[in-house]
Amino acid sequence: MSAPEDGTDSAPDSAPDSAPDSAPDSAMEAEFDTVAAWTEEAVEALGRDHAIPAACRGSGSPADLAWLARGLDLRDDETFLDAGAGLGGPAAWLADHVTDRWRGRPLLTEPMVHAARSARRLFGFPTVAAVSEELPVRSDSVDVAWSLGVLCVTPSRDAMVAELRRVLRPQGRLGLLVLERGEAPLPEQPEGNDFPTREELDDLLGDAGFHVDDEIDAARLPGAPSAWSERADRVEEHLRRHHGEHPAWHAAQEQERVMGRLLRERYIVTRLLRATAR
Ligand SMILES: C[S@@+](CC[C@H](N)C(=O)[O-])C[C@H]1O[C@@H](n2cnc3c(N)ncnc32)[C@H](O)[C@@H]1O
């Protein structure tokens, strides 16, 4: 895999060191950039053992990641891409859990520049600030990729899935965590999110040249162990204590409230899929 095409990490080091302090332009920016960057500070304060749970907040639980990892079967010096990596927690979890069979390093792409920079500082992986519709990665160069919780926030699902297919080698493996909506109209709409239906998702993957090998409703998998949840809670508490008055915190909390309700009442479900590039 040509890590970034020019061989450099492009999460900007020139950006100010502290997290953004101005009001974010959107709820998405609040949640995925401002609060993400504050999370790096929380890990510094609370300790390294908080890094992975902190950097997976709002995405997969360890059981989700384990289900995906099992089928993706990353090994030897295969190349691995996390597209829309957020703070990099899932990729760091994966790297920790395949040390006995994989010698590589994850490449992370993430469009929110503060989040991308924090991910690189937290875990030291090559991290590029880029949207998944235009990955700065050579065609046919990736063995395994995953993209978790991103399909519902991209402005173009078609372009994103086509791009994942472009960078994966034939027979390359793809893992997805997708928030999928059912038939019922949503009682509330989290800003910036557009959830595919099951049928849309199947068509999307088939049209782009993927064969779905396996899938599961993540509600069937166990929740996070208490040690993981306690660390995530301590991070949440730290963020609330230090940033609870900031507009970005309120915007992100409101997004989380709406998402929590939609998931709890099963207007949306978390589907995990493993697919192969044909
Ligand atoms: C729910 S978060 C999940 C983050 C990470 N994958 C995880 O599981 O922890 C969604 C992520 O997608 C990113 N994102 C938004 N639009 C994107 C796009 N067009 N391409 C790639 N990532 C995008 C957001 O900035 C955010 O980090």
**Ligand 1 centre and the CA of 110: distance in Å?**
6
Q: Is residue 257 part of a domain?
A: yes
Q: Is residue 16 part of a domain?
A: no
Q: Is residue 117 part of a domain?
A: yes
Query: How are strands ordered across the β-sheet holding 210-217?
Result: 127-128, 107-109, 80-83, 142-148, 168-181, 268-277, 210-217
Q: Is the pLDDT of residue 9 over 80?
A: no
Q: For 87-104, what is each residue's pLDDT tens digit?
A: 999 999 999 999 999 999
Per-residue model confidence (pLDDT) at position 237: 97
Q: What is the DSSP string of 158-214?
A: HHHHHHHHHHEEEEEEEEEEEEEE-SSPPSS--TT--PPBHHHHHHHHHHHTEEEEE
What's 219's domain CATH number?
3.40.50.150
**Ligand 1 centre and the CA of 163: distance in Å?**
15
Q: Is the pLDDT of residue 18 over 70?
A: no
Q: Is residue 114 part of a domain?
A: yes
Give residue 220's domain range. 27-277
Does the Cβ of 40 fall within 6 Å of ligand 1? Answer: no
Best mutation site among 25, 26, 32, 123 for ligand 1, i.e. most ligand atoms within 8 A of its Cβ? 32
Residue 20 DSSP class: P
Question: With a threshold of 0.85, does the pTM exceed it?
Answer: yes
Q: For 156-188, what is each residue's pLDDT tens digit?
A: 999 999 999 999 999 999 999 999 999 999 999
Counted domains in the chain: 1
Does the Cβ of 85 fall within 6 Å of ligand 1? Answer: yes
Best mutation site among 67, 109, 110 for ligand 1, i.e. most ligand atoms within 8 A of its Cβ? 110
How far apart (Å, rounded) are the C-alpha atoms in residues 72 and 146? 9
**Ligand 1 centre and the CA of 209: distance in Å?**
23
Q: Is residue 8 part of a domain?
A: no
